[in-house]
Amino acid sequence: MSVRRLADWSDTRLRRLADEYGTPLYVHDHDRVRENYRRLTGAFPDADVLYAVKANAGRHVLDTLREAGAGAECASAGELKRALDAGFAPEDVHYTPVNPPARDLDYAGDRLAGTDATVTVGSADTLDRLESRGFTGRVLVRVHPGVGAGHSAEVATGADAKFGVPRDRVHGVLADADDRGFDVRGLHAHTGSGLLTASDRDDHRTVVETLAELVAESPVALDRVDVGGGFGVPYRESEPPLDLDAVATATRDALAGLDVELAIEPGRYLVADAGVLLATVNTTKETDGDLLAGVDAGMTTLIRPALYDAYHAVRSLAPDAADRVPVPTSVVGPVCESADVLAEGRDIPRVERGDLLAVGNAGAYGVEMASTYNSRPRPAVVALAGDDERLVRRRETLADLTTHEA
């Protein structure tokens, strides 16, 4: 199936996992990750698929996608280390730093020197910094196309000057990199995150067409175009799934006539609907508006609702939920912030203290963005593969919070 809704998860299994491992708890289903990867490669059979590690950098996820055949796209030295340590070959790794700190480039220079890894540069001075560290290997130049789309303005990357070289300067950077002896391979751009609608698809095609025009007029021979990722998944129950075949067709059409290899960088699409977050209701409160359900997960566990005003489906896993009357409910966390809200005004069977709630589409940018703000330990993660399950990240303790303090 092209989309997995929260209702498709087994209530019985999720309740058992919560009983065994406690809450808050992330549950990641690797069978679904593999299914998503197969669907994606079916739509893009000739593309080099590079998993965007920032979506979920857990070793268990990296192992699953490496074994399936994916490469890795890394935005930081930490992600680069995780990918290489997980066994990704350097030639299957793209390092795509944004305004990289010196220590990141120091690490990349050490690990990537003499390999066939690819570095994507988003500014002219990154070439200086790489060259000074002895790296003159494969590079792509990231383009700022001036067009962006996505689930919110904060992730419409293509429209943000922070990312990439302005279009009118791209050829100069390509020529400069070639003159310095870098192995210049191609261009890169990323429209944004969470592309889902026909309008998003049109913006994506515009970005790819911009890359195609720049390749056709390039002063340096290029053989690779990386169109980024951002392929969306429906977070709301009423939203249809992404028309992935239409995206693939639009991408191929925009590159028609060019003799280049296509690369894509999916992250969310591969892991979002492969994860749920489980939380226990610890407090209920009647108000003049919604019923408030206070749970043991909050913005430190899943920050997307507070950061992006993002919607995540919420479901009661109480065994008798079907017999309870739905009431407008807001699900709030234990953090001392008014922004600590996971869901507002949802019609949920009336909650009671001790009930278990499931939050959908939590496999991407969930545990990866978790923090210890308010000195709250981060949650555990359980990975599923068929009938097998294992704890792949233990729950942090209060003692863990001060481990790094002198």
Q: Where are the beta strands (DSSP E) in 122-273?
A: 138-144, 165-166, 183-188, 224-226, 261-264
Of 153-167, 294-308, 309-323, 339-353, the one with minimum mean pLDDT is: 153-167
pLDDT at 147: 53
Of the candidates 211, 189, 191, which has an alpha carbon nearest to the alpha carbon of residue 150?
Answer: 191
- Grouping H, G, I as helix, E, B as strand and the rest as coil, residue 207 is helix
CATH 2.40.30.260 at 31-270, yes or no: no
Domains 31-270 and 273-402 share a fold: no
Residue 93 φ then ψ, to 5°: -115, 135
Task: Give the span between the Cα atoms of 322 and 325, in whole angstroms.
Answer: 8
Average pLDDT over residues 290-308: 96
Position 385 confidence tier, pLDDT thresholds 50, 70, 90: very high
What residue segments make up the domains of the chain, in order of their start? 31-270, 273-402
Task: Give the span between the Cα atoms of 72 and 107, in whole angstroms.
Answer: 17
Mean pLDDT (the chain) is: 92
Strands 25-29 and 275-285: antiparallel
> For the segment 336-368, what is each residue's pLDDT rounded down to a tens digit?
999 999 999 999 999 999 999 999 999 999 999
pLDDT at 1: 74
CATH number of 273-402, picked from 3.40.50.920, 3.30.1050.10, 2.40.37.10, 3.40.50.460: 2.40.37.10
Expressed in angstroms, the distance from the first to the final Cα of the chain is 51
Q: How many CB atoms lie within 10 A of CB 334?
A: 18
In this structure, what token pair is assigned to residue 8? 């498709």
Calculate what percentage of the chain has a pLDDT beyond 70: 95
Furthest CA-CA distance within the chain: 72
Of 22-26, 39-43, 286-290, the one with minimum mean pLDDT is: 286-290
Active site residue 74: no
Average pLDDT over residues 80-86: 97
For residue 221, pLDDT over 70 is answered with: yes
Average pLDDT over residues 15-39: 98
> For the segment 109-145, what is each residue's pLDDT rounded down to a tens digit?
999 988 999 999 999 899 999 999 988 899 999 998 7
pLDDT at 130: 93
Q: Which of 161, 256, 325, 336 is catalytic?
A: 336
> For the segment 28-76, what is each residue's pLDDT rounded down to a tens digit?
999 999 999 999 999 999 999 999 999 999 999 999 999 999 999 999 9
Residue listed under structure tokens 């899943």: 302
Position 2 confidence tier, pLDDT thresholds 50, 70, 90: confident
Q: Are 232 and 155 in contact, with CB atoms under 8 Å apart?
A: no
Task: Give the span between the Cα atoms of 395 and 406, in whole angstroms.
Answer: 23
pLDDT at 161: 62
pLDDT at 106: 95
Task: Give the span between the Cα atoms of 6 and 111, in whole angstroms.
Answer: 41
The percent helix, strand, coil of the chain (3-state, each to 5) is: 35, 25, 40
Average pLDDT over residues 84-103: 95
The per-residue b/e assignment along 388-397, b for 16 or more CB within 10 angstroms, e otherwise, is ebeebbebbe
In eight-state DSSP terms, residue 195 is: B
Residue 203 φ then ψ, to 5°: -65, -40
> For the segment 153-197, what is each residue's pLDDT rounded down to a tens digit?
444 444 446 667 988 899 999 999 999 999 999 999 988 767 777
Position 80 confidence tier, pLDDT thresholds 50, 70, 90: very high
